Structure 1
Amino acid sequence: MAAKQGMHISKVAESGPGLAFIAYPRAVTLMPVAPLWAALFFFMLLVLTASQEGGRVRGGMYIFPLFDYYSSSGTTLLWQAFWECVVMAWVYGADRFTDDIACMIGYRPCPWMKWCWSFFTPLVCMGIFIFNVVYYEPLVYNNTYVYLWWGEAIGWAFALSSMLCVLLHLPCCLLRAKGTMAECWQHLTQPIWGLHHLEY
């Protein structure tokens, strides 16, 4: 969009509701099958802004930034990315993953990628995550409205609903599996789907 308008990307859109109601609709028109994506996008906005606050102000305009700030923010995504790297590189195995990629594209990726998956990316993700938590600032809507404590609690519930799934899933799987802890771990870290398991 910035290239098409001949503008710097920082001037195309700003964060917040303007991003949803101005920039995204423009971007949707540039996508293939634009009417489908436009209908889905505005249906999502309709669901977000459906609630009414006191019959006058749309409550969705307060819920949308809350959801955006906590649930789909960089902090939550960094948490997910860290655990994805850990599981892929250290549980599934970076060598096994490299073999899978070579099987799919016909050649092995650069060895540097393996180092990134195993060390650099998880360390950077966790470092930025800790920095965001230490320097956390409560959400302020439109530079004026400060959310009450229960609003922040809802925001953290949004964030934790996805973040805790990562930590709670493993103990639940270990408790359901049969055998010793080592046998359960071995069973859970075995790949389920592979080329030798496919049936035609």
Structure 2
Amino acid sequence: MLAVVCGIPLFLLETSVGQYTQEGFITCWRKLCPLAQGYGHFVMKLYDFIYIIIQVWALFYLASSFTSKLPWASCDNTWNTEFLKVTIFICLFSKPVNCVGLQSLSNETVNHTIRRVLVVSGGIEELGSVRWELALCLLLCWVFCYFSIWKSIRSSGKVAYFTATFPYAMLLILLIRGLTLPGAWEGIYFYLYPDLNRLANLEVWIEAGSQICFSYSVAIGTLSVLGSYNEYNNNCYRDCFWLCLLNSGTSFVAGFVVFSVLGFMAQKQGVAVNTVAESGPGLAFIAYPQATAMMPLPQFWTVCFFLMLIFLSVDTHFVTVECFIASISDLFPKHLRAPGRSEIFVLLICLFFFLTHLTLVTEVNKIFL
């Protein structure tokens, strides 16, 4: 809660800078402090685009869900290997301290993620071939991104009405289903009653602050660009307060969705909740798919989950790209904002990063596993 309270002023400050100057995160400093104008954020925005790989994986899992039997629900696949050969791979998705819970993760789910989705190259000296299924998913993601932002805020604003609200419908469906699962309340108890002794650990507070800054998109330029689209006299204080409250409230509710399912999975396997609890990609692409495979109508719940994940990542991605393009256009308005040129510029940006991101859908190097 303290991290949220500290994050709101940062959210407000960056948004108000964009609204006051009506400029993006690079040119806004011309009106505030010319000496502070720099291009450090420009480099950071290039890194932000890597977030698209979450979309690619989620889209691949979504397509795999439309089968009579989920591919990660059985060992009858060509990519399956013995469990002992893949236990080390799960450390890619977990901190070393969590590797003690390897036995709680099924052979089928781990094999599908590592050997079917990612695949493993021969070594660090081998880039490996491009995974054509993931490359196709990557192309679809960038095509959607292009048509979401090709008319700037006129198109991205309309798309955001759907991509920002649809995940809440999926979240509600998954929440209702999660709360009705056996063992759900054990997972929720684990979620609501944490180890209070950990509060004395400084690392916990650092992680909380980092998560708030990441969740609020603070200090990466996105807020100042979005704020520049507001009217000059808009009440940004009210908007920032409600947006921060909605953001943190959504995260809190999503915790019930996650831990109710983890409690169900722990009861099914006869282990403690902390054994199956994962974070990051391991939760989304290993633990949760494994849990849905245990439910009746697993395809439906898997589709709901990955649809929600796709739209959440799509929304974040095209807004990031839009802010990047808007800031570059602010530097060269006569050349890039002319009729017809804006669409071409957006197309070139999307094409360039699509080709660049093909390196992210090659075989995973085994040194990272």
- Relative to the length of structure 2, the TM-score reads 0.20
Normalized per residue, the structure richer in helix is 2
- Which is bigger in relative contact order (C-alpha 8 A, separation at least 6)? 2
